[in-house]
Amino acid sequence: NSAEKPETQDQTVLAITADRRYFINSVQVPKSDLARRVQEVLESKSQKIVIIKADDDAEYGAVMEAMDDLRTAGIEDLGLITDPKRQQGAGGGK
């Protein structure tokens, strides 16, 4: 159901920005260290799920590479969340 946003407060969230920066629970990490850092965070969690939240302008390839890195590291439970696109310039037409 796209109307309901999962509660991410106690979950592991991997954010990917438009300029290919990676953040695990709001802490920036280098891509080369991504899988190891996610594994460390998951060790203390009861739910071993990683939620991926990509910026609207993030490259599709950056998201897929991150997913591949996590799967290679044995992390299989992945989810994606998105924010609905904001309308720009609404009501300003002729």
- pLDDT tens, position by position, 43-54: 988 888 999 999
Mean pLDDT for the stretch of residues 66-79: 92
Nearest residue to 14 via CA among 5, 2, 43, 31: 31
- Report the mean per-residue pLDDT for the chain: 83
